Structure 1
Amino acid sequence: MNNLISVIVPVYNGELFLERCLNSVLSQTYNNLEIIVVNDGSTDLSAKIIDRYSKSDRRIVAIHQQNKGVSSARNIGIRNSSGEFIGFVDGDDEILPDMYEFLLNNLLKYNADISHCGFELVKNDKLVKFHDTGVFLEQNKFQGLSEILSGQKVEPSTCNKLYKKAVLSNIKFPEDIKSNEDLLFNVEAFYKSEKTVFEDVVKYRYFHHSDSASRTSFTEKKAQDIYEVAARIKNLLTEDSIQKNCERFYISKLLTIIKSLKQNDLYNTEVSKKIRAEVAGIDTRKMGLRIYLTKLILVRFPFLYNFTRYIYDLFFIKNQKWKNHS
């Protein structure tokens, strides 16, 4: 294999983790890489670290811009990429040594447009979540989209994936949206693909940092952004073969927004009223008992929400203790 992979690394104030990230990319067993590091207006030492690395390895391309957000940084990277394939790595994460060799092997072997792998999540130096079941999925467009929408096996992140650049033509990260932008990008990419391949073996390592932009408190703006992403996905996926899954995804997403607004004392805000009004008009009787009851409580009888949470937590904790004891 001699195919060039463009790896896009957006960075904002990542001086504490950037060297670890770049070293993991530079140490890949597949070395025909173009590593585009986009400094998104960092105010710490990130710019100096990027420039130092770019001088020491010709594969690194340094781009500096004013702070415009991670979506803008990724879009700049795509526009400046030369590779036949594109991957993304966040500047505070790291990848296992053979990730791109692994992803490219699967992509070429099965003639796929997108190849993705498992991941693990590290929080406070402890492994708290991982996907490493060994499950293998070779899927057509609509099968892949169904997995993305369900969120059960397939991670909506862009970072554990390798894309044919041709699939990403005319697709951009939404720069007006700060939440769920990866999900929207992936739905559009999977929609343009003919085949995707997924092997659930850990090759990407996410790190959870308390000051990460993706983990800030829930706000009206965040609610509006998630709602906008869900609406754009709903408007894109209208074919009969995916519409049912899309409708279920849409109502589930809206209910999740309402629940988060409720938990953050934002239930009576304008965005909450707008979303609740839309949910009230959706027939959920054929979408399963969980969705039906969640809608009933969050929209019709919100005063029952805290009580039902208490009962659920009480049962869940008691059940977990029983399992641990047995």
Structure 2
Amino acid sequence: MNEPLISIIIPVYNAEHTLKRAVESLKAQTYPNLEFIFVDDGSTDSSYDILAAYAKTDQRIKVLKQKNEGQNKARFTGLRASSGQYIGFMDNDDYANPQMYGRLMKAITKDDAQIAVCSYQQTMGAKIIKTFIQGKGLFKGDHKVSGTADISGTAFLEKMHNPTDGKAYFSAVLWDKLFDRKLILNAFEHFDYEVKLGEDVALCFETFLKAKRVAIINDPLYYWEMNPHSDSHSSAYLEKISYQKTYQYLKKVIRANNGSDAVLLQAKIFIMWSLLLFGYDILDYQKQLYPFNLTSPKKVVLYGANYLGKAIYQHYQSSKTYQIVGWVDKNAQAYGPEVKSLASLAKLDYDKILVCLFTPAYFEDIKADLQTLGVDLHKVIFIDTKALFSSQLDQIS
């Protein structure tokens, strides 16, 4: 067998309901030289038993067990136990196209790259919700773009987000990539495990800044299952994170690797998105109703009930400056009773509608929907991206 060994590392925590799908998608991989290292991170359900049963029937599967220490420490445990020349990662509730690792390996070989990256789709059960095409951004539903390209590691980081429109073009996660072992091992060995926000991002910055060549696959080969109950969204998790610690760590990594100002801007963009989604109250010291650039007292309606809409709604319910007179979403039935349908706008007295979404691909559809309902589009405000990225972050808590 001449193909290099690829080690896939999967941290596992209480995943008994999704684990079988993940394992079966790995077993179905067409690449012939693989090992799968599952690290049970202190699960309290039947996850370990499921994995142990699989290990008896497939010699490629190795199962490790440790006390609960978090996802990245579990990944590091698996990485140290691995033997592969190349390393991939998967989350325990996701799954992969059977050709994923073969395609990634082929791209690395063809482009003489240290990292290969594929596109991915966000799923909910059997439904494809969104498609992220590397280099092209996020699209609604199923979206097909075939082809490959290559880019330097620094250029990959510099182009992750467009600071003009805020649109994401490249991903800073671990699970859609294949890494040269030495490169990713070095990142994990130097990682500060006290960093609780953006662990994947920090590791990607460290790794990509050292990569001369990154191979890009446009085809979506990884399936990221939506899980609103994951640790990264829980209140217990959010209480542990420090935005300043992550920002300072990213700056340290960028400077140590001679990163450009454009890479530093990407670190700033990431922290700002994170604050908007999970630490909105911290931004209140800069400007109220940030980042909509709305200064005078207004009656406002929030459009969008995901993370940003939820954060603004919770923060301004008792505001004396602004009165939130409504909260609407096109899929209102998926949220709580506070969220109403778009049709409810006809009964509301408001000055402005704030669209609490980041994805520009949706903006024209939103305008069309609101116009159909008779809404004056002069009352609709989208995120002020230019103001967003001019903010100072060194004093954030």
Query: Match of 1:142, as an amino acid?
Result: T
- In the alignment, the residues of structure 1 paired with residue 236 and residue 41 of structure 2 have an alpha-carbon distance, to the nearest angstrom, of 23
- In the alignment, the residues of structure 2 paired with residue 240 and residue 171 of structure 1 have an alpha-carbon distance, to the nearest angstrom, of 12
Contiguous gaps of at least 5 residues in structure 1: 281-292
TM-score of the two chains, using structure 2 as the length reference: 0.66
- In the alignment, the residues of structure 2 paired with residue 252 and residue 185 of structure 1 have an alpha-carbon distance, to the nearest angstrom, of 16
- What is aligned with 1:237? 254
Contact 1:71 1:181 in 2 (8 A): yes
- What is aligned with 2:330? none
- What is aligned with 1:157? 173
Which whole-Å deviations, capped at 9, do the CAs of 1:12-67 have from their partners, x for residues lacking one? 00001111101100110012111101011111000101111111111111101111
Matched, 1:184 2:202: yes
Query: Match of 1:231, as an amino acid?
Result: Q
Query: Match of 2:368, as an amino acid?
Result: Q
Aligned residue runs from structure 1 range 291-306, under 5 A? 294=291
Matched, 1:202 2:214: no
- In the alignment, the residues of structure 2 paired with residue 113 and residue 54 of structure 1 have an alpha-carbon distance, to the nearest angstrom, of 30
Report the Cα offset of residue 97 of structure 1. Answer: 0.4
SS state of the match for residue 133, structure 1? coil
SS state of the match for residue 260, structure 2? helix
Contact 1:297 1:305 in 2 (8 A): no
- In the alignment, the residues of structure 1 paired with residue 148 and residue 228 of structure 2 have an alpha-carbon distance, to the nearest angstrom, of 33
- Relative to total residues, which structure has the larger helix share, 1 or 2? 1
Matched, 1:321 2:337: no
Report the Cα offset of residue 324 of structure 1. Answer: 7.9
Name the Cα RMSD after superposition.
Answer: 3.4
Report the Cα offset of residue 91 of structure 1. Answer: 1.1
Report the Cα offset of residue 296 of structure 1. Answer: 6.9
Structure with the greater alpha carbon radius of gyration:
2
TM-score of the two chains, using structure 1 as the length reference: 0.79
- In the alignment, the residues of structure 1 paired with residue 268 and residue 292 of structure 2 have an alpha-carbon distance, to the nearest angstrom, of 9
Report the Cα offset of residue 149 of structure 1. Answer: 5.8
Which whole-Å deviations, capped at 9, do the CAs of 1:271-302 have from their partners, x for residues lacking one? x68xx6xx89xxxxxxxxxxxx949779xxx9
- What is aligned with 1:289? none
- In the alignment, the residues of structure 2 paired with residue 257 and residue 209 of structure 1 have an alpha-carbon distance, to the nearest angstrom, of 17
- In the alignment, the residues of structure 2 paired with residue 221 and residue 108 of structure 1 have an alpha-carbon distance, to the nearest angstrom, of 43
Aligned residue runs from structure 1 range 128-277, under 5 A? 128-131=129-132, 132-134=144-146, 136-148=148-160, 152-172=168-188, 174-217=192-235, 221=239, 224=242, 226-238=243-255, 242-260=259-277, 263=280, 266-267=281-282
Report the Cα offset of residue 141 of structure 1. Answer: 2.7
Report the Cα offset of residue 138 of structure 1. Answer: 0.9
- In the alignment, the residues of structure 2 paired with residue 258 and residue 18 of structure 1 have an alpha-carbon distance, to the nearest angstrom, of 31
**Compared CA separation, residues 85 and 317, structure 1 to 2 (3 A):** closer
- In the alignment, the residues of structure 1 paired with residue 18 and residue 93 of structure 2 have an alpha-carbon distance, to the nearest angstrom, of 5
Query: Match of 1:65, as an amino acid?
Result: Q
Report the Cα offset of residue 196 of structure 1. Answer: 0.6
Aligned residue runs from structure 1 range 67-82, under 5 A? 67-82=68-83
Q: Which sits farther off after the overlay, 226-235 or 160-169?
A: 226-235
Aligned residue runs from structure 1 range 33-48, under 5 A? 33-48=34-49
Q: Which sits farther off after the overlay, 143-152 or 34-43?
A: 143-152
Contact 1:114 1:162 in 2 (8 A): yes
- In the alignment, the residues of structure 2 paired with residue 15 and residue 56 of structure 1 have an alpha-carbon distance, to the nearest angstrom, of 18
**Compared CA separation, residues 323 and 188, structure 1 to 2 (3 A):** farther
- What is aligned with 1:290? none
- What is aligned with 2:58? 57
Contact 1:121 1:129 in 2 (8 A): yes
Contact 1:69 1:175 in 2 (8 A): no
SS state of the match for residue 238, structure 1? helix
- In the alignment, the residues of structure 2 paired with residue 254 and residue 145 of structure 1 have an alpha-carbon distance, to the nearest angstrom, of 15
Q: Would you say how many aligned residue pairs link Structure 1 and Structure 2?
A: 299
**Compared CA separation, residues 69 and 305, structure 1 to 2 (3 A):** farther
Over the matched positions of the two proteins, sequence identity in percent amounts to 26
SS state of the match for residue 43, structure 1? coil
SS state of the match for residue 169, structure 1? helix
Query: Match of 2:145, as an amino acid?
Result: T
- What is aligned with 1:98? 99
Which whole-Å deviations, capped at 9, do the CAs of 1:183-223 have from their partners, x for residues lacking one? 11111110111111111111000111232222335976365
Contact 1:10 1:73 in 2 (8 A): yes
Contiguous gaps of at least 5 residues in structure 2: 133-143, 296-315, 325-349, 357-362, 374-397
Q: Which sits farther off after the overlay, 192-201 or 233-242?
A: 233-242
Report the Cα offset of residue 169 of structure 1. Answer: 3.4
- In the alignment, the residues of structure 1 paired with residue 130 and residue 278 of structure 2 have an alpha-carbon distance, to the nearest angstrom, of 26
